[in-house]
Structures are given as C-alpha cells and as structure tokens.
C-alpha cells in the first residue's frame, strides 16, 4: 500500500471514529470546506455544502445515543489528487433505553477525498442501504 493510500485509509477511519464518538468538531475538520461538498446519508436526499453537511451531522449525532462501525471490504483507490474509499459499513446501534437493545444494519459507502495542503479532506460521502444480498462482483 502506498503512503497516499495509507493516509486516505486513515482519513476514512477518522471519519467513522468522529461519528462514533459524536465529535462534531473533528467531523467538520475532516470535510473539505466547499459549497459543492456532498453528503448522502442512507436512504436520504443529498446534503450539499459544508455548512448544511455540518448541521446534518449535528442533528444525526444528537439523535444517535450509540453507534459503532465495523468496516469490511475497505478498498482504496488513489488517482493523483483525488482518492476514493469504498467500504461496507456494518453498523451497530442502540436505543436510549436503560436495558439497551442493539440493532445491526449494513450500508455501502463511497467516500471521495481530495488532497489539500492540510491533508486529505472528504469531498463526497454517499452511503446507501443494502436491500439485497445479490452482487455481480464475481472476479
């Protein structure tokens, strides 16, 4: 794995860590400051621009008492100044009741990072629910 690929994988891991720990400042830091940044939460309409994206995370974090990600199938692809990470988000969430009930879910994420003087920053996050077990990736 190249240095760049490793940096991108670290940036991707930091993104999920910020979500898990409800670290809104850290989350803001991870995103590119760009009115054309794009965030698609699973099953939702797109959120465009850093300030709207920040507000969406604030709302989601405020309504997520517990969340934990187990990433699988993490694939990093670096093309010069831009890199993509695709991964399966195996998500464990818990409700706000005393005796916690845990729920598992699975989503597919594409995260596209841009290289900036400050490091790799998230330009696009697109997560989608997995509705079928079917896949054609039989290479």
Instruction: Point out which residues bind a second copy (CB under 8 A).
Output: 36, 38, 40, 42-49, 51-52, 55-56, 59, 73, 75, 77, 79-82, 84, 86, 88, 108, 110, 112, 114, 123-124, 126-139
In the complex, minimum distance from the CB of residue 47 to a second copy, in angstroms, rounded to a whole number: 5
In the complex, minimum distance from the CB of residue 98 to a second copy, in angstroms, rounded to a whole number: 29
Q: Residue 113, exposed/middle/buried by CB under 10 A (0-12, 13-18, 19+)?
A: buried
Tell me which residue of 51, 36, 26, 56 sits closest to 112, measured CA to CA: 36
Q: What are phi and psi of 95, to 5 degrees?
A: -80, 180
In angstroms, the CA 39 to CA 123 distance is: 8
- Cβ distance to a second copy smaller for residue 58 or 92: 58
In the complex, minimum distance from the CB of residue 111 to a second copy, in angstroms, rounded to a whole number: 10
């Amino acid at each position: 794995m190249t240095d760049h690929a490793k940096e991108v994988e670290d940036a991707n891991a930091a993104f999920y860590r910020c979500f898990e720990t409800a670290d809104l400042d850290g989350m803001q830091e991870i995103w590119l400051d760009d009115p054309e940044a794009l965030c698609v939460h699973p099953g939702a309409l797109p959120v465009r621009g850093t300030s709207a994206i920040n507000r969406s995370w604030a709302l989601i974090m405020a309504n997520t008492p517990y969340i934990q990600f187990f990433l699988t199938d993490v694939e990093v692809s670096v093309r010069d100044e831009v890199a993509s990470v695709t991964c399966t988000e195996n998500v464990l969430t818990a409700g706000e009741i005393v005796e916690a009930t845990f729920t598992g879910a699975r989503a597919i994420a594409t995260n596209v990072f841009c290289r900036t003087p400050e490091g790799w920053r998230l330009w696009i996050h697109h997560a989608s629910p997995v509705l079928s077990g079917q896949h054609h990736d039989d290479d």
